[in-house]
Amino acid sequence: MNRWTSHLSLPLSFSLAVLAASAAAPAFSQVLEAPAAAPTFVREAPRDVRPARMKVTLPPQITLDGTADRLSPGARIRDTRNMLVLSGSLAGRELPVVYRRDAAGLVHEAWLLTEAEYARLGGSGSTGDAEAVRQFQVLLATIFGARR
């Protein structure tokens, strides 16, 4: 098979590559520069949640405080930076969380806590006492407000 070649194709392709590299150089240097001010993210305190120690055994199977339970399809687990975490990456680890159930009774949302935050909650809010629930919500607002 005969291919068309030109004596100009090599210098032309070389000059186009140099032109593209010189045009990309300012854009590349802008990427390397740090942003002037990073946007701050405020993590909202979730409502109607309960504290527990969650262990992912084999997704979607979990245990909450030693009791077998299950994650709902599409369950969302968020870490302390409010980033989504896949349940498979937590397999075998027991972590402190606050969680919310869906209409079917499955765990649908969970927020990972640090050990200090979990100790600060002290397991309050698990009773039906109105004062305990109010104190639990105040503690959650304090904890999630401190993560700014």
Q: pTM above the 0.75 mark?
A: no
Q: pLDDT category, 125, cuts 50, 70, 90?
A: very low
pLDDT above 90: percentage of residues in the chain? 41
Query: From the CB of residue 148, how many other CB atoms can be counted at a distance below 10 Å?
Result: 8
Q: Write the CB contacts of 62 (distance below 8 Å, at least 6 apart in sequence).
A: 54, 55, 56, 68, 69, 70, 71, 87, 107
The domain segmentation of the chain, as residue ranges, is: 50-145
Q: Write the CB contacts of 64 (distance below 8 Å, at least 6 apart in sequence).
A: 52, 53, 54, 99, 107
Q: Please, what is the average pLDDT of the chain?
A: 78
Q: pLDDT tens, 64-110?
A: 999 999 999 999 999 988 899 999 999 999 999 999 999 999 999 99
